[in-house]
Amino acid sequence: MSLGTINIVGAGILGLWQAYTLSKAGFFIRLFERSDEPFQTASSRLAGAMLAPYCESEASQKDFIPFAERSMVLWQDSPFEISQNGTLVVAPQRDKAELTAFAKRTISHRLIQSDEIAELEPDLKGQFQQALYFEGEGHLAPRPLMAKMLAQIQKAGAEIQFGWDAELPEADVTIDTSGMAAAKRLQKLQRNLRPVRGEMAVVRLEEVQLKRPVRMLHPRMPCYIVPWPDHHYMIGATVIESDDSGPVSVRAGLELLGAAYTVHPAFGEAKIIELNAGVRPSLSDNLPKVIVDEGTIYVNGAFRHGFLMAPLLAQIVADYVKGGQEIEDYFQ
Amino acid sequence: MTIETPDKQQSSRFQLYDTNLHSRLILGSALYPSPDSLSGAVKASGAEIVTISLRRETAGRSAAKDFWQHIQKLGVKLLPNTAGCRTAKEAITTAQMARELFGTSWVKLEVIANDDTLQPDLFGLVEATKELSEQGFQVFPYTTEDLGAAEKLLTAGAEVLMPWGAPIGTGRGLMNPYALKTMRSYFPDTALIVDAGIGAPSHAAQAMEMGYDAILLNTAVAKAGDPVAMARAFKLAVEAGHLAFQALMIEERDMASPSTPVAGTPFFDLEKLD
């Protein structure tokens, strides 16, 4: 028997994890998505989808790590396959001070030399003298994973509605994970949701085979390259305070593709599959929040941390809805 | 006996163009981990002026309005900059957009010559300063310690000069203290601000001890492990340096000079007498 009916608005990574966790907990789930096709407008489809609690702590408060670690465990315990090959952080020789600075601001890494870099990533042999290796991190390919989650949720008996722009039907609880679409409603709750533009590229390259995300530090244009299935690489991402979700600028394109070329010159021969831009829904501390307003629970503001934090955010909401467990201060 | 404490606020007050200010620390608003950490740092620094950059590619739109509103809410005076502009023309266009958007005629003028050193293009800088001053802007040119260029900038209409300490973002401190000292003595009545290259609070204190009017920095606070604590460290360093300048520091000497006179001290060198 169902514990109750829950409406979930938004089928990005936050909404999918909510639907998955709550249907597993015994609720009847109705998932509503504005776009006609899955993931058309979700920021998540453009995500780097790195599960990197330690690298990401460089730009977050230190207390971010234990929460991110808890969320990592939920990923590991889930039926969804993630790659756990760690992260490699490199810097061009002339910017090697960036590597020292990054090491100082993060934990759970070790400095490795060119021979070990070559062992981990044979194709990067001779490219970098030193790197930081974050062994406990992982990554995934967002689009196939989201499709798998959607199928799983459907199999569990959830109702899924695409192209939805009508009133929501009655439910015991509504969970709103609609990102920037919720900005006006959050404004009324004194939460200022702002868009942060990100630009990314997808290229195809057979010559280089990377097993893990490579982050390249640079004073102006830090970037990362994430291996996706079928010889694809995702190259990301700019971070610009802007509500512009329009096409990628030439400058950003040059910088992203140029950075990949710096990681390995073979990227010069890669084929550009996609250049894309979107906005990340972000709150003033750039950390995700769970905001309860009567019958509606807003899960929003994931900024760069949607994939990393989605499982924990779902767990927190499930504990609240099911057992009345208080939402931890950190997420309020 | 009464000890005279100078009215702190009175003695540290200074002017940039027609604006009276107390805080001698100007903060940049880029590179912070989040808007909250930016607000925290601005508050902790006591800064009354915050620079803000306008990316040309998004300037025409509502673009970064959320971020800008966030800064405006801090109640500070905005100093829009022309960061990343490579020609005088680009910088002039950006300055005009900034005036319209932010309603201020202040502009921190950057015309960059080279992407690797981010050093100012002095020729473009003088050209843009002249044009913008004629259009009624109050220009804060980011320049080097070159005295010839500095004179041309003043002739072109600038009333404030902002020489670099070191290239932007390097955090190397004052690379040429001799030239910065010379510049201070050469322009005793011009408002001079050390802009760029500051890494440690001691660098900021060093420039203030030389008599610079203020310090402008961004990376040193934004990229610190704890930006809010670092902002406070810089506030204290800038105050300490300025106070030291006002208090007239002693001159360096070659020979030791005892702080306690030894001649006539009873039992002086007693051991030797034994």
Q: Is A284 on the interface with B (CB under 8 A)?
A: yes
Q: Which pairing describes strands A289-293 and A271-282: parallel, antiparallel, or unpaired?
A: unpaired
pLDDT of residue B51: 93
Strand partners, A296: A174, A293
Determine the length of chain B: 274
**What stretch of H or E contains A149?**
helix A142-155
Provide, rounded to the nearest whole percent, the portion of chain A with pLDDT above 90.
77
Kindly identify which residue of chain B lies nearest to residue A56, measuring between CA atoms. B33
Rounded to a whole number, what is the distance in Å from the CA of A169 to chain B's nearest CA?
A: 33
Pick B63's closest partner by Cβ from A242, A285, A287: A242
**A109's torsion region: left (phi>0), alpha (psi -120 to 50) or beta?**
beta
pLDDT of residue B1: 44
Q: How far apart are CA A327 and CA B213, in angstroms?
A: 49
**Range scoring the smallest mean pLDDT among A105-109, A142-146, A201-205, B257-261:** B257-261
Average pLDDT rounded to a whole number, residues B193-207: 95
Residues of B in contact with A59 (CB under 8 A): 33-34
Cross-chain Cβ contact B58/A242 below 8 Å: yes
Residues of A in contact with B62 (CB under 8 A): 243
- In the predicted structure, residue A62 carries a pLDDT above the cut 80: no
Q: What is the pTM of this model?
A: 0.83
The pLDDT mean for chain B works out to 87
pLDDT of residue B116: 79
Q: Is A247 on the interface with B (CB under 8 A)?
A: no
- In the predicted structure, residue B209 carries a pLDDT above the cut 90: yes
Average pLDDT rounded to a whole number, residues B40-65: 78
Most distant CA atoms of chain B, gap in Å: 88
Average pLDDT rounded to a whole number, residues A293-311: 94
Q: How confident is residue B5, by pLDDT bands cut at 50, 70 and 90?
A: very low
The tokens describing B58, both together, are: 């998004």
Residues of B in contact with A219 (CB under 8 A): 169
Average pLDDT rounded to a whole number, residues B235-244: 96
Among residues B177, B247, B168, B246, the alpha carbon closest in space to that of B207 is found at B177
Pick B64's closest partner by Cβ from A60, A241, A287: A241
**First and final CA of chain B: distance in angstroms?**
44
Q: Is omega for the bond preceding A237 within 30 degrees of 0, making it cis? A: yes
The tokens describing A182, both together, are: 């919720």
| pLDDT top residue among A275 and B263 | A275
pLDDT of residue A292: 94
Cross-chain Cβ contact B70/A194 below 8 Å: yes
**Range scoring the smallest mean pLDDT among A1-10, A125-134, A179-188, A261-270:** A1-10
- Cα Rg, chain A, nearest whole Å: 20
Cross-chain Cβ contact B55/A240 below 8 Å: yes
Cross-chain Cβ contact A243/B66 below 8 Å: yes
Pick A284's closest partner by Cβ from B35, B57, B169: B35
Over the stretch B9-20, which tens digit does the pLDDT of each residue have?
445 789 999 899
pLDDT of residue B206: 96
Rounded to a whole number, what is the distance in Å from the CA of A152 to chain B's nearest CA?
A: 35
Rounded to a whole number, what is the distance in Å from the CA of B193 to chain A's nearest CA?
A: 24
Cross-chain Cβ contact A241/B37 below 8 Å: no
Rounded to a whole number, what is the distance in Å from the CA of B166 to chain A's nearest CA?
A: 15
pLDDT of residue B4: 46
Determine the length of chain A: 332
Average pLDDT rounded to a whole number, residues B165-186: 93
ipTM: 0.74
Cross-chain Cβ contact B225/A104 below 8 Å: yes
User: Which residues of B have a catalytic role annotated?
Assistant: 108
- In the predicted structure, residue B3 carries a pLDDT above the cut 50: no
Pick B58's closest partner by Cβ from A60, A104, A244: A244
Residues of B in contact with A60 (CB under 8 A): 33-34
Q: How confident is residue B58, by pLDDT bands cut at 50, 70 and 90?
A: low
Interface of B with A (CB under 8 A): 33-37, 39, 55, 57-58, 61-67, 70, 169, 223, 225
Rounded to a whole number, what is the distance in Å from the CA of B231 to chain A's nearest CA?
A: 16
Pick A60's closest partner by Cβ from B33, B61, B67: B33
Average pLDDT rounded to a whole number, residues B112-135: 92
Cross-chain Cβ contact A285/B55 below 8 Å: no
Distance set, CA A308 to CA A150, A300, B196 (Å) = 18, 13, 36
CB B46 within 8 A of CB B20: no
The pLDDT mean for chain A works out to 92
**Range scoring the smallest mean pLDDT among A254-258, A306-310, A327-331:** A327-331
Kindly identify which residue of chain A lies nearest to residue B63, measuring between CA atoms. A242
Rounded to a whole number, what is the distance in Å from the CA of B24 to chain A's nearest CA?
A: 27
CB B41 within 8 A of CB B228: yes
User: A–B: how many Cβ contacts below 8 A?
Assistant: 54
Over the stretch B72-115, which tens digit does the pLDDT of each residue have?
888 899 999 998 889 999 999 999 988 988 889 999 999 999 87
Average pLDDT rounded to a whole number, residues B227-252: 94
Rounded to a whole number, what is the distance in Å from the CA of B81 to chain A's nearest CA?
A: 16
Average pLDDT rounded to a whole number, residues B187-215: 95
pLDDT of residue B6: 45
Provide, rounded to the nearest whole percent, the portion of chain B with pLDDT above 90.
64
- In the predicted structure, residue B59 carries a pLDDT above the cut 60: no
Over the stretch A161-214, which tens digit does the pLDDT of each residue have?
999 988 999 999 999 999 999 999 999 999 999 999 999 999 999 999 999 999
- In the predicted structure, residue A219 carries a pLDDT above the cut 90: no
The tokens describing B13, both together, are: 């007050």
Q: Which of A104, A187, A196, A243 to mutate to test the interface with B (most CBs of B within 10 A)?
A: A243
Q: Which of B53, B58, B65 to mutate to test the interface with A (most CBs of A within 10 A)?
A: B58
**Range scoring the smallest mean pLDDT among A11-20, A170-179, B60-69:** B60-69
Q: How far apart are CA A153 and CA A130, in angstroms?
A: 43
| pLDDT top residue among B33 and A138 | A138
Average pLDDT rounded to a whole number, residues B184-196: 94
Pick B36's closest partner by Cβ from A240, A241, A284: A284
Residues of B in contact with A104 (CB under 8 A): 225
